[in-house]
Amino acid sequence: DQQVKQNSPSLSVQEGRISILNCDYTNSMFDYFLWYKKYPAEGPTFLISISSIKDKNEDGRFTVFLNKSAKHLSLHIVPSQPGDSAVYFCAASARSNTGKLIFGQGTTLQVKP
């Protein structure tokens, strides 16, 4: 049972344009959401997070939006840069729990120069 889903395995955008990565979840107990970026042969690197009490969190070129009623979150990257090309994982956590992360399958982003 996949509690966190990233339905797009891959996404290709032109440099300078916006990248939008989507994530859906099913467990209403999740109250904290994170995005990780992963380059080949490296571990996931924390990118940005959002608590369920917010609907938006911004950090530089990265913004995460949370729609609790739809159980949907998205990561916006503006403007996209070739160095952003990586696999992006959405993850969810119930902080009242152990803090373990439930990951989506990942979306491979390619930013073309």
Residues of this chain that interact with other proteins (CB under 8 A) are: 2, 4, 32, 34, 36, 41-46, 49, 89, 91, 93, 95, 97-106
Smallest distance, other proteins to C-beta of residue 17, A: 26
Minimum CB distance to other proteins smaller for 17 or for 95: 95
Q: Which is nearer to other proteins, 43 or 113 (CB)?
A: 43
| Contact by Cβ (8 Å): 44, 37 | yes
Q: Calculate the alpha carbon distances from 66 to 12, 32, 41, 63, 97 in Å.
A: 23, 10, 30, 10, 20
What's the min distance (Å) between Cβ of 43 and other proteins? 4
Q: How far is the CB of 79 from other proteins (least distance, A)?
A: 25
Residue 55 is given by DSSP the state S
Kindly report the number of other CB atoms within 10 A of residue 7's CB atom.
Answer: 10
* Cα separation, 55 vs 66, whole angstroms: 5
Closest separation between CB of residue 65 and other proteins, Å?
Answer: 19
Encoding tokens for residue 66? 């949370």
Q: Which is nearer to other proteins, 16 or 46 (CB)?
A: 46
The nearer residue to other proteins, 2 or 67, going by C-beta atoms, is 2
